[in-house]
Amino acid sequence: MSIFSKKTAVPREVEELCKKRLSRVIERTGGEEITLGGKGGASVAGGELVIICDGKEVFRCDIKGITAAQLMSGNGCDIKDVSGGEKRHITAYYGKNI
């Protein structure tokens, strides 16, 4: 680790999200659910959470200030954060690990 780098704590739920395949990602906006994509994965790089679905980036946010929680069913993760100056609320559902 370099003396110039800052280590940002990654929430446990985000670490779990990064270890699993995603079957779909939806975003909740004003009472609507919009499907952002399917078949993807998540990664933490440079202090940011990045979610890729269908070969394109569908979500990116800073780890600082992120709120993440495991769904009670255990089949996904609920994420809330400010991305691009606006509040975003997404749910990433886990795919089946083969």
Q: Which residue ranges make up each domain of the chain? A: 12-94
Residue 45 CB coordination number (10 Å): 8
12-94 CATH, one of 1.10.287.3510, 3.40.50.2300, 2.40.340.10, 2.30.29.30: 2.30.29.30
pTM equals: 0.83
Ranges assigned E (strand) in 10-85: 22-29, 32-45, 48-53, 56-62, 67-70, 76-83
pLDDT in tens, 36-85: 999 999 999 888 999 999 999 999 988 888 999 999 999 999 999 876 67
Place of tokens 């909740």: 28
Confidence of residue 4 (pLDDT cuts 50, 70, 90): very low
